[in-house]
Copies of this chain bind each other. A is one copy, B any other.
Amino acid sequence: MGYIIENITVITWDDDRLKVLENATVETDGDRISRVGCGKNDAARRSGKIRIDGTGKALIPGLVNAHTHIPMTLLRSYADDLALHTWLFDHIFKIEDKLTDDDVYWGSQLGLMEMLAGGTTCFADMYYFVDRIAEAAAESGMRALLSRGLTNNEDKDDYSDDYRIKEAVETFRRWNGAENNRIRVAFAPHAIYTCAPKYIKAIRDTAEKLGAVIHVHVDETLKEHNNSLNQYGKTPTQHLYDLGLFDLPAIAAHCVHVTDTDMDLMMEKSVSFIHNPTSNLKLGSGIAPVPDALKKGINVALGTDGASSNNNLNMWEEINLAALIHKGARQDPLAVRAEEAFRMATANGARALGFNNTGQIREGFSADMVLIDLSKPHYLPEHNIVSNLAYSAQASDVETVFVDGRILYDKGEFKTLDREKILYNIKRVCERLFS
């Protein structure tokens, strides 16, 4: 089984090269892209497949949301425009204390629905009740790197009784590699201010034994940065480097206040820099040094963070901001180019999360692809399609979403998620949570 998409404009990163193919033909076979043909007269090789006419449409790799907390869709627009401390302690934590696994399941479903409708095919999540998030992700058919946020500030030598690490290990054993390897499980020491150094080391050692990836918040606020200097005499990045955390494949979310030396360490250890522009702006955290990271060759990917600090899971806004804010903040119109922002949201994201052979429209790669309707006024004239995607696209321009060669969303219709059921349950769980 497979699809043949004809007369399509393919826009993809091909390793280090941006590739735009006009009038191309893309074929899938099962979960893979089996052929990418070029030119008007390129005929489809095999029949028996479902044909899709791509005229007036673009085919791009599925977007990768490389840092989020999807159940936090439940907290979207709850307690906005407040000082960080008030927001977190007086509002967010109070609700999170009341969350049940059922709430997390339905909040995840809402987030999955929003992501799919906007062309996101893959995401990296950090939260709790992760088994329920995995269940929702599996049902959706999306690709996900899931993790249990681990926090423990108690400094001790033995964490073998730590229930959080135990949970994380159980989740890893249950879900890592499930669903045709679409679901993988990472280990997530939450941040240096919520984890004692030895706790981070314990998590690191557990992850190493299991061969797991690391997902961690790094240097999000100036407060975190300065506290680290005071407490450890070094930056958060140097602290984590010295604990050996970055000896494992790692994604570091935020990196707003990383120094030049920190970025050298990240480059040395191939740590991925996950840029969350909306969240960093909205919470007043600052503007991450993305142009410098790019210059050093660091793998920069994009994330939305949770919906409560964004307030959505719309990766098009992150692409747009990644391409815009550094130009303005540095008064340099060349700071981050449109194609670089597009790469961050696709190929770089896939690489960060360790999903090999995804994130590009390329023979042999997973068929994680998105069809974009280019007929809207904001795509005209067609001078530069990559510019149009980075600066003008809306999530609603997404027409069809494929993951592993399967259509999960098509023209407003969810193929794996039950929209009405989700809306009903969101209302139900919110009535209890916020009453």
Contacts and interface: CB of A to CB of B under 8 A. Distances in A.
Interface of A: 73-84, 87, 110, 113-114, 117, 222, 277-278, 280-287, 310-314, 317, 320-321, 323-325, 327-335, 337-338, 376-378, 380-385, 387-388, 391-392, 394-397, 423, 426-427, 430, 434
Contacts of A333: 81-84, 87, 282-284
Contacts of A423: 380
B334 A83 contact: yes
Nearest to A221: B331
Contact of A380 (B76, B277, B280, B334): B76
DSSP class of A's interface residues: helix, strand, loop or mixed?
A: helix
A72 to B, nearest CB: 11
Contacts of A338: 80-81
25 contacts: A77-B382, A77-B383, A77-B388, A81-B387, A83-B334, A110-B377, A114-B377, A114-B378, A278-B324, A281-B324, A281-B329, A283-B333, A284-B330, A285-B331, A311-B387, A311-B391, A312-B392, A314-B378, A317-B320, A325-B325, A329-B329, A381-B426, A381-B427, A381-B434, A396-B397
Given A281-B328, A395-B394, A78 B383 contact: yes
Given A76-B381, A77-B384, 15 more contacts: A73-B377, A76-B380, A76-B388, A77-B385, A77-B391, A81-B333, A110-B377, A114-B378, A117-B377, A282-B328, A285-B328, A287-B328, A381-B427, A381-B434, A394-B396
Contact of A331 (B113, B284, B385, B427): B284
| Top 5 closest pairs, chain A to chain B, by CB | A281-B328, A396-B396, A284-B333, A77-B387, A114-B377
Contacts of A430: 381
A68 to B, nearest CB: 14
A284 B384 contact: no
Contacts of A377: 73, 110, 113-114, 117
A282 B324 contact: yes
A282 B284 CA distance: 21
A197 to B, nearest CB: 27
B337 A81 contact: yes
A74 to B, nearest CB: 7
A289 to B, nearest CB: 13
Given A324-B278, A324-B282, A394 B391 contact: no
A384 B80 contact: yes
A327 B317 CA distance: 17
Nearest to A84: B333
B286 A328 contact: yes
Contacts of A278: 324
A426 B330 CA distance: 35
Contacts of A376: 117
A328 to B, nearest CB: 3
Contact of A327 (B282, B311, B387): B282
Given A317-B320, A325-B281, A311 B388 contact: yes
A394 to B, nearest CB: 5
Contacts of A312: 378, 391-392
Nearest to A287: B328
Contacts of A426: 380-381
A86 to B, nearest CB: 9
Nearest to A430: B381
Contacts of A324: 278, 281-282, 321
A197 B154 CA distance: 69
A231 B83 CA distance: 43
A370 to B, nearest CB: 16
A77 B393 CA distance: 12
